[in-house]
Amino acid sequence: MWYNHKLKKAAMALRLTADDKASSASNNSVPIPSVTPREPIKSGHNEVLLGAGGTTVPRREYEKLDFQRMKYTIAVRRLLNLKFTKEELATHSQTGKESPAFIGVKARKPQLDPVRVGDIRLHVAKKYNIDISLVNKAITVALADARKTKKRKIEKEDTD
């Protein structure tokens, strides 16, 4: 929940001017983190911009996504697959935090790039007019499924 709040603040930071940032800091409010886009903000002929973080996907692949007929969970999976490798999805988590269910038992997984995940999260929530928590659950399930797929593949290779 707090992570979504930080993403919203980061998106607002892109719209603030230097004067706005200075005045908000003088009001003893929480400082707004600045977000540096990793890819160009302008979407070109061959790419589609997903969000304020500058995340883009190939236009040809984006146009294959039929948002009218496809469930939001499938859209989340497809966008994740466009921006991350199968290996990244299988070995990373949304937050990078240790699971409360496995404290000290399982190793903590590295965090997926929060800018790209945030752009996907907000894009899908806006496209389907749904709450971000539903998109978060879909991302969590997609990551768990990627882990299971990798685990099965390794087990199958070991038995052969």
**Distance (Å, rounded) from C-alpha 157 to C-alpha 160?**
5
Count of beta carbons in the 10 Å neighbourhood of residue 130: 13
User: Which residue from 33, 70, 67, 31 is spatially nearest to 50, judged by alpha carbons?
Assistant: 67
The strand pairing partners of 3, in sequence order, are none
Residue 102: pLDDT band with limits 50, 70, 90: confident
Protein fold of 36-159 = Arc Repressor Mutant, subunit A (1.10.10)
- Of residues 32 and 105, the one with the higher pLDDT is 105
Q: Domain locations in the chain?
A: 36-159
pTM listed for this prediction: 0.70
Residue 12: pLDDT band with limits 50, 70, 90: low
**Distance (Å, rounded) from C-alpha 6 to C-alpha 140?**
19
80 Cβ partners below 8 Å, 6+ apart? 89, 120, 139, 142
C-alpha dist (Å) from residue 128 to 1, 66, 73, 115: 20, 12, 10, 20
- pLDDT recorded at residue 106: 80
pLDDT (average), residues 133-153:
95
pLDDT tens-digit map of 21-55? 444 444 444 444 444 444 444 556 799 999 999 99
The strand pairing partners of 56, in sequence order, are 49
**Distance (Å, rounded) from C-alpha 8 to C-alpha 127?**
17
Which phi and psi angles does 118 have, rounded to 5°? -65, -40
